[in-house]
Copies of this chain bind each other. A is one copy, B any other.
């Protein structure tokens, strides 16, 4: 997998294959670019484990980005999603296999071309099977044009991707999740900060142990971020966890949240930043502590009573040695079951004054998505409204544009559940669900409200946190609540004054989250739980809007299902 990215408006170019093409990038950007190919490095030294981040894409506002993705995998296809980029006018380059394109075959090169029309922090990752979790991901940073400045000041800019890591391959995981002899993936073995983590070698995979479980392997050190004392750092923190909701903290340092999913946040201060898979945040950190030592940066699992040990990194005050351990024990993070603190952070995130996009006052349609776990034909599945999603064989965008409506069910999926009788607080006696590949068709330019309603899973007294990610749009986050959403009274409490816009949002245990968006981006868009295993188990829906306004599809997205013969030479 090589990513070659000539950026037309500035003539910079970089590649994950070699260092040489990074010349145009300032040294402080360069040092955080990790140059590891797709195949994951199993670095099982006692204090480290390396994931496979690829290059950070450094772009400027209104750049037209051309990414040539060459699939060098031996037997696997791929597709790359540009997470947070709305793809206005280019819905075919959203990179969602089965929705917007056919997979890219081994040996093939696929060219993505799109405009980045907002500054901020975004991500890219594989959107095919469980390839994201296998390590195919990276950061996108869209800067303001020269001469313009952000509404906050900082000296340096750094990106950190948080992740979790399993020893078992994603192939084994996917097989276990899909088979009738269902096998849950369990808790990840490690948490990674910018691709590095630690592992107790006494529990390590023995064939690998001899190779990599040693303390002298330089690849196996903790991630260390070198900072200059007395400065302000913008840290762009994002999460691409397969499963875990996380808290992130830097020992002794406060963090001021200023950006979320590419939108400016009215600043607020946290000691622990809660972050869910698919979210990005910018925080400002002042390096104003005792400069004679290093500090711990840590991340730990919240929302699940996890066995996964915290992830560690070193916040390195120059000129202390980057690998010098802080003199303190790494501080514990918040309690996993402190739901209040997480609710409160969600409520604290408002649009920054002077940067508020006002939402429409009312909506044209309300779709309630009850998050349910079901048994479907003897298989454990995740669902909405007891319907678990099945991907059809022909991508929706092509099927709809080329009138291949027989390739998926035309029976619309449910707009809600049995509001009167369903008790969200208990595991249901009847957990039976169905599957469907039907989609929600939205009137173009209409305003749509989505109520994500959480519930008890199939396990007694368990309700999980699901981070939902919408493609092709930002949505306004109108409110969060606990218990069952009240369709009469809760909308009266919506924040229509300064709601944040985001592309990924959590629905908290036994709670609800209310979203609003304008269906004004012609295309077909996935909306799904960003937890890789939940997504694979069917926790996703699809929206169509303005298909008649979509331009001529490039033939490069075709070649699968009923679109094989649509390819042009």
B207 A167 Cβ-Cβ under 8 A: yes
Q: Number of A residues whose C-beta is below 8 Å from B?
A: 43
Chain B residue numbers with a CB within 8 Å of A367 are none
A58 CB-CB contact with B under 8 Å: no
Chain B residue numbers with a CB within 8 Å of A190 are none
A174 CB-CB contact with B under 8 Å: yes
Chain B residue numbers with a CB within 8 Å of A76 are 75-77
In the complex, A42→B204 CA distance in Å? 17
In the complex, A393→B70 CA distance in Å? 12
A215 CB-CB contact with B under 8 Å: no
In the complex, A108→B203 CA distance in Å? 40
A393's partner among B107, B167, B189, B562 (CB-CB below 8 A) is B107
A75 B179 Cβ-Cβ under 8 A: no
Q: A73 → chain B, closest Cβ, in Å?
A: 9
Q: A103 → chain B, closest Cβ, in Å?
A: 7
Known contacts A204-B206, A561-B107; A175/B39 CB under 8 A: yes
A174 B74 Cβ-Cβ under 8 A: yes
The segment from A124-132, A150-158, A248-256, A279-287 that touches chain B is A124-132
A171 B168 Cβ-Cβ under 8 A: no
A105 B103 Cβ-Cβ under 8 A: yes
Counting chain B CB atoms within 10 Å of each CB, which of A107, A129, A168, A174 scores highest?
A107
Task: Using CB atoms, name the residue of chain B closest to A175.
Answer: B39
Chain B residue numbers with a CB within 8 Å of A75 are 76-78, 103, 128-131
Chain B residue numbers with a CB within 8 Å of A108 are 393, 560
Q: A390 → chain B, closest Cβ, in Å?
A: 11
Chain B residue numbers with a CB within 8 Å of A569 are 562, 564-565
A179's partner among B37, B42, B565 (CB-CB below 8 A) is B37
A106 CB-CB contact with B under 8 Å: yes
A171 B172 Cβ-Cβ under 8 A: no
A206 B207 Cβ-Cβ under 8 A: no
